Amino acid sequence: MRYFFRRHIPPFDRVLLVESGSRYLFDELFPDIYEIHGPDIQVDLVTCYAGLPKGFLESRGQVFRVTDYQGRQGRKRLYQLLAGRRHTVMGMICSGEPIMTKWKWVLAARTPAKVYVLNENGDYFWLDRSNWSTIRHFILFRAGLSGAGAVRTIARLALFPFTLLYLLLYAAAVHLRRKVTS
């Protein structure tokens, strides 16, 4: 994850997109990327879906399906292939859906590119220190620790050890009573 400590945005000439959310988000993104950044842009796609998103041009990029890179050796080969493509920018979907969660964060850490995060509303932000407050709010929101649900979530976390202790003591008492009476 290069450029985390810098606000510098590299040129959009070699882009890696990680399709780790609903497909409709990328269906509308590809035509815009090609139109805005011109005919020389190369866009590669890492996905778990069969088929291609609407608007993706195979002549201007490559598709990497994570199902083709199973096991430790397969993942290592994928990381080497992606490193050889020399991406300058990496975009990933963070839409609250548990799709390719581990893949996208490992790729963000291992890919030497500036990373941006795209949410389900089509909004995005760069993953760098200048957006720290946005990143913090995003994490708290996804964890349920912002807004009206924050108090309820914190109360559940605080009460969990006591609830677990009560259930263990109750189970021990029931089993002990059964042993004594039989």
Same domain, 133 and 157: no
Same domain, 88 and 170: no
Could you identify the residue written with the tokens 């995060």? Answer: 117
Closest CA to 114 of 87, 82, 86, 89: 89
* Side chain identity at residue 21, one-letter code: G
Same domain, 132 and 58: yes
Same domain, 30 and 62: yes
* Cα separation, 53 vs 23, whole angstroms: 7
Same domain, 60 and 127: yes
Same domain, 114 and 41: yes
Q: Is residue 154 in a domain? A: yes
First to last CA, the chain: 63
Same domain, 133 and 163: no
Same domain, 118 and 182: no
Same domain, 33 and 100: yes
Residue 79's CATH number? 3.40.50
* Cα separation, 90 vs 1, whole angstroms: 9
pLDDT at 8: 65
Same domain, 87 and 45: yes
- pLDDT tens across 32-44, in order? 888 888 888 999 9
Per-residue DSSP letter, 114: E
Same domain, 106 and 168: no
pLDDT at 42: 92
Q: Which residue has the higher pLDDT, 10 or 85?
A: 85
- pLDDT tens across 93-128, in order? 888 788 888 888 899 888 888 998 888 877 888 888
Number of domains in the chain: 2
Q: Is residue 2 in a domain? A: no
Q: Which helix (H) or strand (E) holds 89?
A: strand 89-93
| DSSP helix/strand/coil, 72 | helix
Q: Is residue 104 in a domain? A: yes
Q: Is residue 55 in a domain? A: yes
Same domain, 87 and 160: no
Q: Is residue 8 in a domain? A: no
Give the predicted TM-score (pTM) of the model: 0.72
For residue 70, give its domain range.
Answer: 14-142
- pLDDT tens across 56-88, in order? 888 889 999 999 999 999 999 999 999 999 999
